[in-house]
Amino acid sequence: MTELADPAWIERVPWRDRESESEGFGPSAESPSLVWPADRAWVLVSEIDYDSTIVGGSSALVRALCTDGRLEALPLREGADLGWDADDVNR
């Protein structure tokens, strides 16, 4: 999924905020809340009501994300609590 890695992705999406752009603001768009590639190898879901983005995929993918020093990522078990008071890292 190289489309979202390109900083110019905002300029190509149909949901970009053209009204704000007509008022002189630069290109902007909300990040997609769901990304699921055609091969279904992984899925990314940004929660609307919580402050989390969930990535589901293979154990190798989860391990790679959780060990990447540029990300704050933790493995979650099924049914994990995503509420504001469940964050042991940033509490």
Within 10 Å of residue 34's Cβ, how many Cβ atoms? Answer: 8
Give φ, ψ of 86 to 5 degrees.
-95, -5
What whole-number distance in Å separates Cα of residue 50 and Cα of residue 88?
Answer: 15
Query: Scanning the structure block, which residue is given the tokens 């964050």?
Result: 87
Q: What's the confidence (pLDDT) of residue 65?
A: 96
Report if residue 87 sits inside a domain. Answer: no
Report if residue 67 sits inside a domain. Answer: yes
Express each pLDDT in 41-58 by its tens digit: 999 998 777 778 899 999
Domain carrying residue 18: 1-30
Report if residue 36 sits inside a domain. Answer: yes
Report if residue 37 sits inside a domain. Answer: yes
Residues in a beta bridge with 34: 45
Q: What's the confidence (pLDDT) of residue 41?
A: 95
Flag whether the pTM goes above 0.75.
Answer: no
Pair 38, 69 in one domain: yes
Pair 26, 48 in one domain: no
The answer to whether the CB of 46 falls within 8 A of the CB of 32 is: yes
| Average pLDDT value for the chain | 88
Residues in a beta bridge with 54: 45
Residues of the chain short of pLDDT 70, as ranges, are 1, 90-91
Pair 1, 20 in one domain: yes
Q: What's the confidence (pLDDT) of residue 4?
A: 81
